[in-house]
Copies of this chain bind each other. A is one copy, B any other.
């Protein structure tokens, strides 16, 4: 398969494929001559993965590069690869350790995680992200204690256990399993987000009416 066919099959324009090659998101094809290279099924799959992370997961190119590097590194455990994806998904929230309100939010986040008995790396940026959410909620005068977030945490845990990680079949190649897991993380996240907004719209329509106050 030459680059033009790869482009046709994947729907990604040739210049963009070249860009991904340059950026190291897509491995080079097999060079058959100075001006020919052969691409295969693996490249098609990788392109699908890139587009999923980009369009659905909204990951920046640099983050996608890191995730793919982890996927390709066969010495990494499943847990570490997934951790890389989680890290990439966590928007860079810079903590302000000298801010009293921030420290409080952060310890509320840590407390919630501890109470749930979750095993989370002490350095995980997700902790800071949770703290930022708690801080924002409290600044806006909304319930922001661990107690208020508990139902969300429990619902999240149940979905993850029963429908995401639990259903990963390990009877494939490592690469496929890892890809499925990583992309599943991202796409299920958006699925839940979209469904939540739909649930809100529906509830809002019933409570407030199509035309009303």
In the complex with contacts A77-B212, A165-B207, A184-B142, A196-B159 CB distance below 8 A: yes
**A213 contact set on B, CB distance < 8 A:** 77-78, 174
A137 to B184, CA, bound (A): 8
**A139 contact set on B, CB distance < 8 A:** 48, 52
Q: How large is the interface on A (under 10, 10 to 19, 20 to 34, 35 or more residues)?
A: 35 or more
**A73 contact set on B, CB distance < 8 A:** none
Q: A79-B210, A118-B199, A126-B197 are in contact. List 9 more A-B contacts (CB 8 A).
A: A79-B204, A79-B208, A79-B212, A124-B198, A130-B198, A133-B191, A141-B180, A151-B163, A161-B199
Q: Which of A167-213 contact B (CB under 8 A)?
A: 167, 174, 179-180, 183-185, 187-213
The interface stretch among A18-26, A34-42, A62-70, A85-93 is A85-93
